[in-house]
Copies of this chain bind each other. A is one copy, B any other.
């Protein structure tokens, strides 16, 4: 069966697959100085944001991604207070980070202000914490920002980036991870979205390697479903400096958390860290 013009499809580079949503209407389209952004109203997934042809966010299922970018790292760190998000312009990760009441400062550094302005308009539920006194939204180059940040000044760095092409390419490598390493304190944790375990095992392997070379003590990938991303199966990779291991986490704090999540909980934290046999064999853990 072929799809008519009422569908928006993302062809997954090199994977020979595509994911499509049925569209009611195109709501917005613009070329910013950095990228091409489209917003659609879909039949069943709510709103959809597309950047350079790739699915970024849908109203229906972004909760899985945003929760899994934030909570595993924040509940692994013993006491995260200062959190930096690089990218994440839709503000969904920021919202999850600020659910942690002990976080007292969170910077979101996305190079493209348009992403945030469009999210405020079309995904207001992701932007409910943008006015939080602890949040600072900056529209700058994240690589530069982290190079200039004070050594040891951050507890968590979340790299909520697009795929490793174009703008985001510089975020997937040893030099950038080394800047992150220096900006984190000894308990610090870096977490970076790390694409599909099925489609991108080489990238995943290179991320682990680059994180270790940059000085991180241990790395670990966790998995989660994300229907609108290539293969519908996604991952994020954590790296820790010297003091904090990645196997344990503040399990009691998760079980007693006073905020709501829709995907994440203590059981899912452990489950996400389990490695399928082919990942173990490929050294992707």
Which A residues form the contact surface with B (CB < 8 A)? 1-5, 7-11, 14-22, 42-45, 53, 61, 64, 198, 223, 225-227, 231-233, 260-265, 267-268, 270-272, 274-278, 280
Distance in angstroms between the alpha carbons of A11 and B7 in the assembled complex: 10
Please state the number of chain copies in the assembly. Answer: 2
A-B contact pairs, 20 of them (CB 8 A): A1-B9, A2-B5, A3-B9, A16-B42, A16-B43, A17-B20, A17-B45, A18-B18, A19-B19, A61-B198, A64-B276, A198-B225, A225-B231, A225-B232, A226-B232, A232-B232, A260-B277, A268-B275, A268-B276, A270-B270
In the complex, chain B residues whose CB is within 8 Å of the CB of A4:
2
In the complex, chain B residues whose CB is within 8 Å of the CB of A7:
2-3, 18
Distance in angstroms between the alpha carbons of A2 and B271 in the assembled complex: 36
In the complex, chain B residues whose CB is within 8 Å of the CB of A263:
276-278
Least distance between A54 CB and chain B CB atoms (Å): 10
In the complex, chain B residues whose CB is within 8 Å of the CB of A61:
198
